[in-house]
A and B are shown apart, each in its own frame.
Chain A
């Protein structure tokens, strides 16, 4: 048996970091696009946006979307093909998520075995997969509202699709914030995602 077993296989680490790049570009350029016609009574500070102006932000957004989608599809294919999706993220129940959340808040959640995801992690990672799918579909409904009528109607029309896209972005950013906080609390998870063990 391997004395230092791999926690994260190479394909997972590769798609994870490519996704980091894609999400970073999509979110920061998306904020600039949002600023051109804000849905709500606020704007993102230009200094934390990408693209310099609306046209530049759109160039980034519609370039990085290919990376986000292609990388996401490859990730999901590997995840299903290796059965990692089923073995790492399930079983999962609201009761165990609640129990693990309470344990985490009390500082009593164990991280002894980094190969094992606790229920909060399982729920969070499944959520972010789903959230990115919603982001892509709502984005497609905004970009191609005529070519994808079913998608457009699923989103409740063009204007609502913009809101869905925004909310999904906000939830993704919230996930990233919690994710980064947890990494600073348990730094060896960062090492595992870099070198695999």
Chain B
């Protein structure tokens, strides 16, 4: 299982560690008997013998999913903005959601926190929270859409992510931006979405410091992507051309995951 690097680890080492483990959960699922994508009551198993090799079906489906990534990147128009809403339309309380329950929420110490920036960036120095808070900030009230289908409208404030990437001298011709989180979550997005005007390094929720349940000290808010592409408790950001995958993506969720 993936382990998050300590905060003081070298950013490049984080990148390497992230890349090394990227297909681990997928492999494990294969060993456990596949993604179980063929389950349809007893239809796939007639008289106890499997009609189709589970693993090969999984592989074919994953290949189509990667093709769907390409189609979505091709469809993606940076000029199209996610709808924004009025304050009165905010969903209260905004739902908590993670791969663990709310009592397991990671509480990060803000004073000692340093954001790591690595990979294909010019400036790899670490960022404190006060430093990030002095950067120009933006606000948005947008709809968070979960892969499960439900959605909720929230108000988010923070640094436009494109501004941040340019400030650290990121190679914006690179393909991916990866994220590693204090709650052992990890994910990655395409550069086009990273540079979208509504993509935000979020430090505040509804005008207040981002509470732990929504991802203190910071989350990435991508209103053009599903919830699992909006990592919380971000510790390290890296720019890379090597496909980094993600916690859920490696288990079968579509990698692009965009709306």
Contact = CB atoms under 8 A, between A and B. Distances in A.
Interface of A: 28, 33-34, 36-37, 39, 47-60, 62-63, 66, 143-147, 149, 152, 157-159, 162
Contacts of B137: none
B145 interface: yes
Given A58-B147, A149-B80, A162-B149, A52 B224 contact: no
Nearest to A45: B41
A28 B40 contact: yes
Given A147-B75, A149-B80, A59 B61 contact: yes
A56 B75 contact: no
Nearest to B146: A37
5 contacts: A39-B149, A48-B41, A50-B37, A51-B39, A60-B37
Which residue of B81, B83, B248, B253 has the most chain A CB atoms within 10 A of its CB atom?
B83
Contacts of B210: none
Interface of B: 35-42, 58, 60-62, 64-65, 68, 72, 75-77, 80-83, 143, 145-151, 223-224, 248, 251-254, 258-259
A55 B248 contact: yes
A158 B143 contact: yes
A161 B76 CA distance: 20
A158 B146 contact: no
Contacts, number: 101
Contacts of A55: 35, 248, 251-253
Do most interface residues of chain A lie in helix, strand or loop, or is the interface mixed? helix
B80 A147 contact: yes
Contacts of A37: 146, 148-150
A70 B83 CA distance: 30
A12 B143 CA distance: 43
Nearest to B143: A158
Nearest to A66: B64
B64 A63 contact: yes
B253 A58 contact: yes
Contacts of B82: 145-146
A53 B252 CA distance: 10
Contacts of B42: 47
Contacts of B35: 52-53, 55-56, 59
B37 A56 contact: yes
B37 A145 contact: no
A44 to B, nearest CB: 11
Which residue of B37, B38, B145, B147 has the most chain A CB atoms within 10 A of its CB atom?
B37
Contacts of B147: 36, 54, 58
Nearest to A50: B40
Contacts of B83: 146, 149, 152, 157
A47 B41 CA distance: 4
A63 B148 contact: no
A50 to B, nearest CB: 5
Nearest to A143: B259
Contact of A145 (B38, B41, B72, B259): B259
